Amino acid sequence: MKASDIMTKEVLMIQSWATVAEAIALMQNKKLHSLIVEPDDEEDAYGIVTETDIFDGVTAQQKDPEEVKIEEIMTKPCIVVNPDLSLINVAQLFGHTGIRKAPVIKDKLLGIISITDILMKMKVAQLSPSDIVSQKIGEAILHSRVYRDPEDQIAQESEIAWDVVEELESQKAEA
């Protein structure tokens, strides 16, 4: 498999002159961990701003995100990945450089690839049925309301678990 086979094709970009507050809002809204920074002109390189850049360069420094520009904390130029690069080579590149994601570029921006993309698309043994049930229960609990009283929360989580088991059993019976 190649980088182009698993990359995320929808990439959100931001201008280098935008504020960090704008980047944070976009990242929160779209549930992203990074944004590609658009080149200022055709001769310019792409950049990247990550949640780590924001945390280290703004939050930990107690700077106002409304006052800090992306260009002050971004990485530019950033390491880029050729879409024809094998996943093994992408993994080695990430491992040697310590990066977690990179834009995929060949003449133009095609997508972005991350270690998460690589790990989630790897061919590994399938989960056992009990692992699948545990995963579904965990997801359902994660999206439920959290109670302050531990006894109420345990009761709610037990109810959610039974609902998930019943749903899986009915899906199995239909198949």
pLDDT, tens digit, 9 for 90 and up, residues 11-32: 999 999 999 999 999 999 998 9
Label residue 65 exposed, middle or buried (CB < 10 Å: 0-12, 13-18, 19+): middle
The ranges assigned to domains in the chain are 3-121, 129-174
pTM of the model: 0.66
Answer whether 129's CB lies under 8 Å from 168's CB: no
Contact 27, 33 (CB under 8 A): yes
Task: For residue range 17-73, list pLDDT tens digits in order.
Answer: 999 999 999 999 998 999 999 998 888 999 999 999 999 999 999 999 999 999 999
Looking at 1.20.1440.230, 3.40.190.10, 3.10.580.10, 1.10.1040.10, the CATH number of the domain 3-121 comes to: 3.10.580.10
Measure the N-to-C terminal CA separation of the chain; round to a whole number of Å.
32
Tokens of 9: 């094709």
**What pLDDT score does 169 carry?**
78
Cα-only R_g, the chain: 21
In angstroms, the CA 18 to CA 72 distance is 10
